[in-house]
Every structure is written in structure tokens, then in C-alpha cells.
Amino acid sequence: MMGRGDRRGTLPPSGPLLTKGLSAFGGREALLRGARGEQSPFTFAFASPGTTRRAISWLVLASLAAAAPAVAQPADWRRVAPVLPIQGVIRPLTAPIAIGGAGWGTWSALCREQAIQPGRPAQRDCLNVVEARTEADGTRLALVQDRLGLRMTVLRGTDGRIREFAAQRPDGTPAAPDEARDALLATWRGQFQTLSLTTRRIAPREDFPLAIEGSARGGVCRPEGTAMIAQRNVVVARCAVELAGRLRGGEANARIAIFARVAVDVATGMVSAQHYATRIETFAANGRSNGVVVTPSKVVLE
């Protein structure tokens, strides 16, 4: 949830985060295949290979703070992820499907939930949609963060591109610069851009990228099929990403793997649900593991 952790920023690397592939977790293929017997889980929003400081969110920072002793984990850590709220079954994708074209759907909020520490209740933070206005080339949204009352104006084009994302006063005029607020705004902007896919065609058995701000590669997703969520058609896909790098202010290194499922709204190209499991392991200067933390998270349009 947004709080002091957000104001401090995200996982602060001392240098560029180095992509080391997915070999430590069985490779990209193993992550994308998912846990045996799953019915429907997961994805990521805050991190990806080579990502910068803003792209790795408070989620990772908070989890690292809890990563001192090793914790008990299920045989397959990916099972920790929440289950997608799919209505009915996933139908196999047998032909390419076009996504996008509409600026916005029927949603009234963007919410993210995360378990900061194992065994603790999940924390939740939302951006509430107080207005959605159709414009010539897209939809303009007025958003208000529920905790701090931060107001934002967003213009999303019909092609899925975020053309504007700025702080706003209650009277609708631009807000004056503010360092702490602008850092919080940047976190939400990165989140929103990750959720907004540009118009494209998704083909069976063909991987597609999920862009992450500050990352050259982003995440890799593989379509599973089509389904319904909240009476809307979606494409369900598995996504995988791995990060590795040194933490600022010490010699400890971290290795992060994320496995997820996303639901991409067909009409808009918005990722209407992304449910994921994050595995974080930190290492001392001598290479010894400090322990592992696995946390569930989800980001949804409601």
C-alpha cells in the first residue's frame, strides 16, 4: 500500500541491475509453464529485467526488508500467487486476436494488493476514477488516490499510449512541483503504463512483451487462451521476469523472480488483472544466502 515506503522510493541499486537470465529458477520456459495443476494465477507490474529504480516498486523494497530469516515455502513458490477471477473456463487461443481500440472500459478503480510480510494481511491501495471523459483520440481520466488524496489527470489514447499523466489540483488546474508527491506520481505512472498495452495482435504460442518503464526488455508473456472477467472478454497469459543486482548502501545482492498470469482486456488492451508471486533471495558479500521471501500480489481494475 502507498505509504512511507513509497515516499522513500523503490529498490535502490548501487548500479545497473544486471539481467542474468532465468537459469537460477529453471529458465524462462520453466517459469512460463507454471505450477502443475494450476487453475488460474498471476503476474507482475513492478519489475523486469534491467529495470531502473522506479520500475522496481515499494513492493520489492518492503519484501526485502522482511527477508532476513528464510521462511517456509510451498514446493512450488508460484502457487503463492492469487487466482485470477475468471468466469467459466479458459478457451484455447486458436487464431490471432486483435486487442485494443477503445480508450477505457467500465472500471471505477485501479487497485493493488500486496502481502508485505508472510502471514500478515495484504495491504491495499487504489486510484479511484472520479471522471472518464471521451476525447477525440482517447479517454481522459480524473483519478484520486484513496489514502493521500493525490489527484491525477490521465489521457489514454485509443492506441493504448499514455499521452498525459500529471498531478492536478482539486479545481482541475496543474499542481505545482513537489518532490515527494512527484515521486509518488512517478510510481503510479509506471504502474499505469505497465497496464496499458498498445493495440496489437496476440497469436497462439507466440510470446509477446509486457513493457516496464526503465527496462529495455520488460517482461515476456505467453498467451494461454481467452476467458471472461467481470463480463468482459480477456486474453489470459503467463508472464515471467527475473532481476539480479546489488543493493545500495551495502554488499548484499538480491535475486528476484516473478511468475504471473495477466488478463488483457480485448476491447481496450488494458491489463485488467495481474496476479503474481515474487520470490526474493538476498545474499551476503561472501555469497551466502540471507534467506528467501515469497509474496503474493495483485493489481486489478474494478
* pLDDT single digits (tens) 202-221: 999 999 988 765 556 677 99
Can you tell me the distance from the alpha carbon of 182 to that of 59, in angstroms, rounded to the nearest whole number?
Answer: 18
Query: What cell numbers appear for 94 in the block?
Result: 486458436
Query: Which of 215, 208, 220 has the alpha carbon at shortest distance from 30?
Result: 220
pLDDT score at 185:
87
Give yes or no for residue 130 having a pLDDT over 90.
yes
Range with the poorest average pLDDT among 70-74, 157-161, 192-196, 236-240:
70-74
pLDDT class for 28, splitting at 50, 70, 90?
low
pLDDT class for 18, splitting at 50, 70, 90?
very low
pTM for the whole structure = 0.77
Q: Which helix (H) or strand (E) holds 139?
A: strand 138-145
Can you tell me the distance from the alpha carbon of 239 to that of 170, in angstroms, rounded to the nearest whole number?
Answer: 38
Give yes or no for residue 274 having a pLDDT over 80.
yes
pLDDT score at 245:
74
pLDDT score at 232:
97
User: Which residues are 157's β-sheet partners?
Assistant: 138
pLDDT score at 30:
54
pLDDT class for 151, splitting at 50, 70, 90?
very high
pLDDT score at 35:
42
More confident residue, 32 or 30: 32
Mean pLDDT computed over 180-188 = 86
Instruction: Answer for the pair 9, 182: CB distance below 8 angstroms, yes or no.
Output: no
pLDDT score at 15:
27
Give yes or no for residue 42 having a pLDDT over 60.
no
Mean pLDDT computed over 21-41 = 42
pLDDT score at 249:
58
pLDDT score at 152:
93
Query: What cell numbers appear for 98 in the block?
Result: 486483435
Contacts of 123 (CB under 8 A, 6+ apart): 1, 113, 114, 115, 116
The number of beta carbons lying within 10 Å of the beta carbon of residue 102 is 18
Query: What cell numbers appear for 117 in the block?
Result: 510480510
Instruction: Answer for the pair 148, 166: CB distance below 8 angstroms, yes or no.
Output: no
Instruction: Answer for the pair 301, 105: CB distance below 8 angstroms, yes or no.
Output: yes
Mean pLDDT computed over 177-187 = 85
pLDDT score at 215:
56
Per the rule left: phi > 0, alpha: psi between -120 and 50, beta: everything else, 21 is left
